Amino acid sequence: MPPPQDPPQDPAVPTILSMEIDDSWESEYRVRIGSRIKYLKIVSGTYDMPILLSPLACLPPLPYDADTWTVARIAYNPSGRLEATLSAQQLAGVQNAWHGARVNVLDLQRTAPLSVRAFEAVVAGPGLQSLPLGPRQRVVAKIARFEQEIPSIERETRAYQLLALRGAAHLAPRFLGHVLEGDRVVGFLLERLGDRRSATVDDMELCSGALGELHGLGVLHGDVGRRNFLVGRDGAKMVGFERFVEGAAEEARTGEMQRLRSVLVDQPVGFVFSGRAYHAGRSF
């Protein structure tokens, strides 16, 4: 059975792709309309929570089809009138685009969510030609939804680059390429690993061996929760390199190995999802 697909997009209707609601400061929204992605910021006090959860119908008119702006800030002006202030702000992107393959984020058809930033997808459009994939073959995509998430994607991107440069790419899922939004890099693609589960105490040797090999490169993983070790027949692979640290001292590496052992002993057994790459509890 083919995987489910995103519903078709009406190019005239804006659709919220991501949201981060904060009624004490600003709520942020990533919105698609046709082939464009815009960003909305709603100032605290502008709307009540029920509207913040689905605000598009309550916004002042916005020229979504115009290329002259990227960010709209919604707030009441001093006279009490609701206004949208448009900005052509140049949004930050990942700088270390080391891999040759590029895929437009709008060419990713989501098939399953994994976390707020990661999802399974199939690649459509011209980006598929640059990837070693068959038609409808699923991948894992991880993106920065908003600018403040770019640094962690940058760090993970560097982690996969270092693994490739040091001959240790087998310690993680295969890095397939970068994800673009317009002309900026906002994420990456990984191979989808089937029949994997999160680590348990019975996997101590496999996980400590993989982590020890990573430590041999002089780096820390940074987050050795059991969910970041995907165990299969060929051993353990690591994900979740958001806190990856290069040039770590031996003392820090020893401490991380001790934390891994403590985590595997203390945390409960994970679930097995045959045929599904990862489940929502993992820290993708």
Calculate mean pLDDT across residues 96-115.
95
Calculate mean pLDDT across residues 108-120.
94
Structure tokens at 118: 């990661």
* pLDDT given at position 169: 97
Residues 77 and 25 in one domain: yes
Cβ atoms 210, 235 nearer than 8 A: yes
Residue 2 has pLDDT above 80, yes or no: no
More confident residue, 284 or 73: 73
User: Is 271 among the domain residues?
Assistant: no
* pLDDT given at position 266: 84
* pLDDT given at position 280: 35
CATH number at residue 165: 3.30.200.20
Tell me how far apart the alpha carbons of residues 255 and 221 are, in angstroms, rounded to a whole number: 12
* pLDDT given at position 74: 98
Tell me how far apart the alpha carbons of residues 240 and 147 are, in angstroms, rounded to a whole number: 19
Residues 218 and 234 in one domain: yes
pLDDT per residue as tens digits for the range 161-197: 999 999 999 999 999 999 999 999 999 999 999 889 9
User: Is 223 among the domain residues?
Assistant: yes
Q: Mean pLDDT in the chain?
A: 90
* pLDDT given at position 283: 54
Global confidence as pTM: 0.88
Residues 74 and 56 in one domain: yes
* pLDDT given at position 9: 56
Residues 110 and 187 in one domain: yes
Question: What residues contact residue 99 under an 8 Å CB cut-off, 6+ apart?
Answer: 161, 175, 176, 177, 178, 188
Residues 106 and 186 in one domain: yes
User: Is 255 among the domain residues?
Assistant: yes
* pLDDT given at position 182: 94
Last residue of a domain, one of 191, 209, 240: 191
Residues 82 and 126 in one domain: no
* pLDDT given at position 271: 37
User: Is 221 among the domain residues?
Assistant: yes
At 3, the pLDDT band (50, 70, 90 cuts) reads very low
Last residue of a domain, one of 191, 209, 235: 191
Residue 277 has pLDDT above 50, yes or no: no
pLDDT per residue as tens digits for the range 23-76: 888 999 999 999 999 999 999 999 999 999 999 999 999 999 999 999 999 999
Domain that holds residue 45: 15-87
* pLDDT given at position 281: 42
* pLDDT given at position 6: 53
Query: Exposure pattern of 247-267 as b/e (b: 16+ CB <10 Å)?
Result: ebeeeebeebbeebeebbeee
Tell me how far apart the alpha carbons of residues 231 and 264 are, in angstroms, rounded to a whole number: 13
> Which DSSP symbol is given to 118?
E
CATH number at residue 235: 1.10.510.10
User: Is 107 among the domain residues?
Assistant: yes
Residues 170 and 206 in one domain: no
Calculate mean pLDDT across residues 100-121.
94
Structure tokens at 223: 């987050």
At 125, the pLDDT band (50, 70, 90 cuts) reads confident
Structure tokens at 137: 């073959």
Residue 87 has pLDDT above 80, yes or no: yes
Residues 21 and 79 in one domain: yes
Last residue of a domain, one of 165, 191, 217: 191
Residues 149 and 205 in one domain: no
Which helix (H) or strand (E) segment holds residue 229: the answer is strand 229-232
Cβ atoms 39, 91 nearer than 8 A: yes
Calculate mean pLDDT across residues 108-118.
94
Residue 253 has pLDDT above 70, yes or no: yes
User: Is 208 among the domain residues?
Assistant: yes
Tell me how far apart the alpha carbons of residues 212 and 204 are, in angstroms, rounded to a whole number: 12
Residues 203 and 187 in one domain: no
Residues 114 and 185 in one domain: yes
Which residue is associated with the tokens 């690649």? 123
* pLDDT given at position 95: 98
Query: Exposure pattern of 77-110 as b/e (b: 16+ CB <10 Å)?
Result: eeeeeeebeeeeeebbbbeebebebbbbbbbbbe
User: Is 4 among the domain residues?
Assistant: no
> In total, how many domains does the chain have?
3
Amino acid at 141: A
User: Is 5 among the domain residues?
Assistant: no
Calculate mean pLDDT across residues 143-156.
98
Residue 151 has pLDDT above 60, yes or no: yes
pLDDT per residue as tens digits for the range 187-226: 999 999 988 999 999 999 999 999 999 999 999 999 999 9
CA atoms within 13 A of residue 277's CA, in its CB half-sphere:
23
Residues 172 and 207 in one domain: no
Amino acid at 214: L
Calculate mean pLDDT across residues 218-237.
95
